[in-house]
Structure 1
């Protein structure tokens, strides 16, 4: 697998990004605010886009944003919209993207964090990847989304923030 930076035409990843955050106007809040990365199979076919060949289809993607400095002076980066194509989920792509984010962020940041719903699908994933619970944003999904967000049969209400020291 190859993970590359996405520097333009981020909207072409819309379908993938909506797997992780199903309301597009919420994605647009950070779509161009951070660095975006996409994962491709090593043998992925290339097509010509502009003057450079680009892979046809991403297996997964994520955005990593600069969230400033916390009260202790630690520099914070955050993973937003970590998404893996449905056909390739549970194959290690999400974990590889997350580990890439850890290695990439460690150059400039002290903490990498991620926010997710309190879901039985995502919480164990981040815990296995070495993240620990930091805090909760009560009613985040109820107050910020125009429809109920349901994952694994559970309506998401609070956002759980996980962190990993770099």
Structure 2
């Protein structure tokens, strides 16, 4: 399996991006000025994706990262994170950040296992930025937890 940046001619893998973001409108706010990277299974289908966007000259942000449900818990998320860090480092960034919902305990553990540390909480992010309430495990998403890693 190889991770490759998709070109402007390729279609955007919304079916994967929507696993980590709620609406195409939300995705469209960042996708067009970001790098999109996919990992494909041996049959050529995209099974994972991440989106890397410049925040400033020192910081890149993983705006979205997702693995198709049938391929989760196989280390693919770790491959995507490692690739994002390597590409950010190669581009000269010194820090990489990522945000996740306050209810996403599994996601928080994943990022922390990969060396990220909480540095900020964006209060009411999901209430202010989405037209409809979003629920995860029966709990309404409110705040976004921001994590970072020095690279």
Shift of 1:9: 4.5
Partner of 1:111: 95
Provide the TM-score with structure 2 as the length reference: 0.93
Shift of 1:147: 1.6
Matched residues, number: 149
SS at match of 1:104: helix
Partner of 2:70: 87
Partner of 2:18: 18
SS at match of 1:79: strand
Question: Is residue 2:130 matched to residue 1:142?
Answer: no
Listed as ranges, the gaps of 5+ residues in structure 1 are 45-54, 70-74
Listed as ranges, the gaps of 5+ residues in structure 2 are none
Provide the TM-score with structure 1 as the length reference: 0.85
RMSD in angstroms over aligned alpha carbons? 1.3
Would the aligned equivalents of 1:63 and 1:82 in 2 still touch at CA under 8 Å?
yes
| Structure holding more strand per residue | 1
Q: Which whole-Å CA distance do the structure 2 matches of 1:60 and 1:122 have between them?
A: 15
What does the per-residue CA deviation read over 1:67-122, in whole Å, with 9 as the maximum and x for residues that have no partner? Answer: 014xxxxx000001101111111111111101100111012100000011012121
- Please identify the structure whose Cα radius of gyration is greater: 1
For 1:13-162, what aligned pairs fall within 5 Å after superposition? 13-41=13-41, 43-44=42-43, 55=44, 57-69=45-57, 75-107=58-90, 108-118=92-102, 119-162=104-147
